[in-house]
Every structure is written in C-alpha cells, then in structure tokens.
Amino acid sequence: MSDRAVEFTASLLEGEGVTLDSPKGKWLRQRQLEARVALKEQALPTSEEEEWRFTDLTSLYKNTLSSPDDRAAVDASVVKTFLIPEASSAIVLVDGVYSAELSRTNAVKTKIRVTDLKSALGDERLRERLERQLNNVGGDGVSAFCEMNTALFKDIVVVHADNRGVDMETIHILNISTGKHTFNHPRLMLLAEKQARICILEDYLGLGGFGYMTNAVSELSISAGAEVIHVKLQRDDDSAFHIAHTHVGVDNGAVYRNWSVSVGGAVSRHNLVTRQREEGGYIEIKGLALGHDKRIVDTHSCIEHTKPHGQSNQVHKTIAGGRSKIVFNGKVKVHQDAQQTNSSQQNRNLLLSARASVDAKPELEIFADDVKCAHGATVGQVNDDELFYLKTRGLDDGVARNLLNYAFAKEVIDDLPIKSLAGVIESYIKQQTRV
C-alpha cells in the first residue's frame, strides 16, 4: 500500500455521504459507515495489486480533488444535443446530482419508474428491494472503489421496471461533469421485475469539466424472464479519471445484453461483473475501447455461471493508437453446479502505433465437467492485403487505414438497438482512429 494511495483515500473520505433524516434510511447510513470503516483497513489500490497490475493510478493519486460544490450552470440547449430521441425518459445528473430542470420524464404511462433515493425509500416495496440488493447483486468481492462509492454517494437513481407484456422502453441516464479537479460518485440501481423489458443508456460526459474523477457504481438485478439491454457509453473529458463498476445479477431465463463503449477519459477502468444467479439465462457482452493519445483504457469483465444451462457470449474489441495503453482482463468462471454451460469469449486488439501497447488476459476457471467454454484473444495490426486493396481503388493511405479501423470497430455496434447512438459512436470511432 503506497502512502499516496492512503492519503488520497483519506482526503476523499473527508466528504459526506447521504444526508437523509428519515428513519427509513437508517440502514443506508449504516452501510455507508461500514464502507468507510472498510476503507480505513484497505485503501484504494495501487499497481502492486494483481487486479491493477497494468493500470497505474499514480496520476490520479497525486491530485487533490474536492467535492463539486459550486456547480456551473449547464446550458439546457447544449444538453439537449446529447439526448437520444429513442428515450422515453432522460435523467440528467450534473456532477452526480439530479437536475430536475434538465431531465424529462414521461408521464407514468408505463410501469417503469425512475426515482431518486428519497422517493424510493418512501415506497415500502421498493425500499425493501433496495435494501436487499444494494451491494448484493452479484459477483466476487467488492473493490475499494466500490466501497468508496458506497461510503460517499449522495443519491441513487432507482429504475424500477415492472412492465411485463409491454414494448421495451429506453431510459437515458446522462451524467455530466462540469467540475475542475472534483470527484463524484454516481450510483444506479436497476430492478427489473419478472418478464420486464427495458433498455437503459448509461452515459458519461464532460461539459467544461477538467481533471475530475467519476467513480460510478451501477447495479442491475434482473428477475426471471426479464430482458435488459444496457448500454454504457463513457465519453468523459480527455483529462478525466473514470472508474466504474457494473454488477449484474441474472435470474432464471432472463436475458442481459450489454454494450460497453469507452471513448474518453485519461484513465478509465470498467469492472463489469455479471452473475447468473439461477438456472438458464443468457448474457451477452459487447465491448469497444479506443486508445488515443496517452489514454489508458482498462476493462475487467467477469462472467460467473453458478447454475446449470447458462449461456454467455462476449466480444471485446480494442484499438490502441498514439501512446495509449489498453488493458483487458476477461474472466469466465463456471461453478461446479453450472453443468451444461455454454460460454464463448473473443478478444480482438488492433495496434495502430509503435508506442501503443495492449495487455490482454482472458481467463477461464472451470469447475464443472459438462460444459463448453472457449475463448480466443488476438493482437495484430491492419492487414496489408486489405490496405493494398483499398489503395488500388484510389484511397490514400490515411483514408484507407481509417476505413479499416472503422470497419474493425463497427462490428461491435452493428446490432446496437439504439440506432441514433450507433451513429454517435461511429463518429467517435472515425475521429479517434484517424492516422
């Protein structure tokens, strides 16, 4: 444990968590206190720890970050340009705090509720679900950053879907950071009831913010037969630190489809932990990470099959240009009970420049014998023959390379259900893979 990490941890803990005085929030304050205690035992990680071997956070720990108290005014018309037309509701958070004037929620025409923590605690059924699921959705161990979020979040965006038999609806949750050297700890809880169908877009971007840290935790509890599409788009400012944990629990026969796209930040880390909690269930994860300039993009995913007949499918593609560093650690764990699991994982990395690097580690941990599990990982460069072909058609070297890079990345978002977003991501790809 380095002194710097310890000091940084202590400085963040000077901040406060939830300020609620209703007795219904007592358990929550208790959890926040427990997380605080845990952080005193174990500070934020350094690259000496196996889990953080390739991602050095020294550049984060040498900062002094503060709580974003003075909020800059955010221009509603600018925010509007980022909102997607497909969404029935858009929740906008500015530096981690819900903004009523920027958000728009459709009238309660369906059975999907999006609320803040206060009103969630007011609903007894929701409160009880929240208490049971918070920090308990699934996956191995809780990391120090996750504890940090638990100790310091000020609000929770609670999405409760109980809309069986109705068309899928899209909810856009937009996290805007405006602070300079500030931190915020956004928290999201999605509770999908039996056979509910919902699509959520978790979107992070910087608007005037600089050198800030976002430490997000999202938990998705998916009940039997439900279908959840979850798109996470990280387009934070190039100077920002983005740490995110996504914990997903999948019940009997439920479907979870995830798209995780990282196109921003100076240092970003996404821990995506999905756990099949009951029999059956389908987990699909598609990831895209673009390394640009000196960016570090780190993705750690874990798919855990604990019960029989589960299926999972993962594709993670990355492009490393400039002096960037791409890290991928993809674990698939099959427990002894999880017979008849069918799992496949693919990791493809494209290196564009001599100074970029890729560290990949696909892991399989199998304890059941009647399973089919396979993974593949490749690191390579643009194919010379393909390049030559395009050049014979009159494209110059730069355009041809850009086109090939774009084609490589595009596969991940080809079947993205939010069509307007696919266009947005495509423009990031074109822009960031230009040679």
Partner 1 sequence: MSTAIDNIVNQPYKAGFHTDIETDSVGRGLNEDVIRTISSKKNEPEWLLEFRLKAYRHWLTMTEPKWPNVTYPKIDFQDIIYYSAPKPKATKKSMDEVDPELLETFEKLGIPMNERAALAGVAVDVVFDSVSVTTTFKEKLAEEGIIFCSFSEAVKDHPELIKKYLGSVVPYTDNFYSALNSAVFTDGSFCFIPKGVKCPMDLSTYFRINTQDSGQFERTLIVAEEGSQVCYLEGCTAPQFDTNQLHAAVVELVALDDADIKYSTVQNWYAGDENGVGGIFNFVTKRGLCKGKNSKISWTQVETGSAVTWKYPSCVLLGDNSIGEFYSVALTNNMQQADTGTKMFHIGKNTRSRIISKGISAGKSNNSYRGLVKVSPKADGARNYSQCDSMLIGDLCGANTFPYIEVGNKSATVEHEASTSKIGEEQLFYFLSRGIDSEEAVSMIINGFVRDVFMHLPMEFAVEATKLLGLKLEGSVG
Task: Give the binding site for partner 1 (CB under 8 A).
Answer: 50, 54, 336, 339, 349, 351-381
Burial degree of 50 (CB within 10 A; 0-12, 13-18, 19+): exposed
Region class of 416: left (phi > 0), else alpha (psi between -120 and 50), else beta = beta
CB nearer partner 1, residue 48 or residue 128: 48
Question: Minimum distance from CB of 87 to partner 1 (Å)?
Answer: 38
Which positions ≥6 away from 235 have C-beta within 8 Å? 203, 204, 205, 263, 264, 428
CB nearer partner 1, residue 85 or residue 380: 380
Question: Minimum distance from CB of 133 to partner 1 (Å)?
Answer: 30
* Token duo for residue 313: 């499918």
Region class of 326: left (phi > 0), else alpha (psi between -120 and 50), else beta = beta
CB nearer partner 1, residue 17 or residue 321: 321
Report how far residue 238's alpha carbon sits from residue 242's, in angstroms, rounded to the nearest whole number.
10
Question: Minimum distance from CB of 374 to partner 1 (Å)?
Answer: 4
CB nearer partner 1, residue 10 or residue 374: 374
CB nearer partner 1, residue 204 or residue 328: 328
Contact call for residues 173 and 202 (beta carbons, < 8 A): yes
Report how far residue 206's alpha carbon sits from residue 115's, in angstroms, rounded to the nearest whole number.
23
Question: Minimum distance from CB of 260 to partner 1 (Å)?
Answer: 20
Contact call for residues 397 and 434 (beta carbons, < 8 A): no
Question: Minimum distance from CB of 355 to partner 1 (Å)?
Answer: 7
Question: Minimum distance from CB of 288 to partner 1 (Å)?
Answer: 18
Question: Minimum distance from CB of 155 to partner 1 (Å)?
Answer: 39
In terms of residues, how long is the chain? 435
CB nearer partner 1, residue 170 or residue 324: 324
**Whole-angstrom Cα Rg for the chain:** 21
Helix (H, G, I), strand (E, B) or coil at 422: helix
CB nearer partner 1, residue 107 or residue 354: 354
